[in-house]
Amino acid sequence: MRKFSGRKNFGIQVVTGKNQALNEDGAWYYNRIITNPSNINYGEYDGAGITELEFALNETSRDYINPSGKFKGKVIRDKNGAVSGIVFEQQ
């Protein structure tokens, strides 16, 4: 996650059982990206991410990422084919 922190139009979404149970769409780090494939702006910047990286490390946080958890990853590309985001969904 730190590797891409400097990219303006790049975001990482992590959906865990905990934050999904709260009817949230997961935690966004760095920037929020449009991930709905039916949206004409798929893969484009959709606002600043709201989650601080520290929450991913805090076991009491709803956005905690268990290091032993299993996740399925999906790469999001913009209309030019550049990688604009990554979505991780806990299995």
- For residue 76, give both structure tokens: 């999001």
CA 62, 36, 39, 23 dihedral sign is negative
Going residue by residue through the chain, which has 91 residues, state the pLDDT in tens, using 9 for 90 and above.
667 666 778 888 999 887 776 656 788 888 889 999 999 999 998 887 777 788 888 898 888 899 999 999 999 999 999 889 999 999 9
Give the residue among 7, 22, 11, 3 at the shortest CA–CA distance from 63.
Answer: 22
Beta strand residue intervals within 18-91, DSSP E: 27-29, 31-33, 45-48, 71-77, 83-90
pLDDT score, position 73: 95
Does the model's pTM come out above 0.95? no
